[in-house]
Amino acid sequence: MRLAISALSKPGGREPNEDAFGWWSSPTGCFCLLCDGAGGHGGGEVASKLAVRVALSHFQATPVGTGPSIRAAIVAAHDAILTAQRSDDALAQMRSTAVVLAIDTANATASWGHLGDSRLYCFRNGAIISRTTDHSVVQRMVEAGYLTDDDIRSAPERSQLFAALGQQENFAPAVADSPFALRDGDVFLLCTDGFWAPVQDRTMLDTLRDAATAEAWLNMMERDVIAKGGRDQDNYSALAIWCGDAS
């Protein structure tokens, strides 16, 4: 199965850009990773870049896109951040989200996992058929019935996470139990909260319908981010992965 991948990452109104992303392909698979760092004194930027580098190195050494392999890559990134925290007091509080997508191009299957509130969306036939569940305070409020899912985007507590790379408490990455069978035209979006918060699900679907390429799709959605973000817009990043014949 052929893949088309496009990436977008901007600082918005906040410097530095603490988001990081990357992907690596083998003859039989493709591994994509996106992270959103947090922590003072530049720690967020260090954490996200370190997580991407370590996780992708894991896939390069073990190019297997199974759930256990994804979990192992996330654990390796987490351990690397913990080690870096101990080496420098300025980095002691650094954290990062992570969302990972592994595609077996030989067998046309996908697996994914995440920690934090960076999201994966899966689109098929003009609908969102899967979305990761945030490890956040407001997500728990939704599950308890205090908020609706639409309230997450504007809730004051939206950025409060209860799990992240570099945080030993509640460290339990969510990983898909079994491979997902792909079809031509399936689309994945990996994005940080600075991207998905301003872009409504309906906008994602409408722009996907109108976009001719993965890059054009990201650019269309970015207009919403810019229009709604204002001067204090968070860093925003996204990876778009189009599978097979996107027509």
Sign of the alpha-carbon dihedral angle for 87, 91, 97, 101 = negative
pLDDT at residue 41 in the model: 65
Judging by DSSP bridges, how do beta strands 180-181 and 174-175 pair with one another? unpaired
Report the alpha-carbon distance of residue 122 to residue 111 in Å, rounded: 11
- Tokens coding 99: 């969302």
Domain 3-235 class in CATH: alpha beta
128-186 confidence digits (pLDDT tens): 999 999 999 889 988 899 888 888 888 877 778 999 999 999 999 999 889 999 999 99
Specify the DSSP element, H or E, that contains 221. Answer: helix 214-229
Chain-centroid distance, C-alpha 65: 16
pLDDT at residue 246 in the model: 57
3-state helix, strand, coil in the chain (%, to 5): 35, 30, 35
Report the alpha-carbon distance of residue 64 to residue 126 in Å, rounded: 30
85-98 confidence digits (pLDDT tens): 999 998 999 999 99
Angle at 56 between CA 51 and CA 59, to 5 degrees: 135
Asked if residue 95 lies in contact with residue 164, where contact means CB atoms within 8 angstroms, the answer is: yes
CB count in 10 Å sphere of residue 148: 9
pLDDT value at 60 more than 80: yes
Angstrom CA distances, 117 to 92, 98, 157, stand at: 21, 8, 12
CB count in 10 Å sphere of residue 140: 15
pLDDT at residue 15 in the model: 82
- Tokens coding 18: 């603490």
pLDDT value at 53 more than 70: yes
pTM, 2 dp: 0.94
Confidence bin at 187 (pLDDT 50/70/90):
very high
Report the alpha-carbon distance of residue 111 to residue 66 in Å, rounded: 6
96-114 confidence digits (pLDDT tens): 999 999 999 999 999 999 9
pLDDT at residue 42 in the model: 74
Residue 21: half-sphere exposure toward Cβ, Cα within 13 Å: 24
Confidence bin at 188 (pLDDT 50/70/90):
very high
Confidence bin at 216 (pLDDT 50/70/90):
very high
Bridge partner list, 238 = 8, 191
pLDDT at residue 74 in the model: 97
Q: What is the mean pLDDT of the chain?
A: 93
Q: Which percentage of the chain shows pLDDT scores above 70?
A: 98
pLDDT at residue 86 in the model: 94
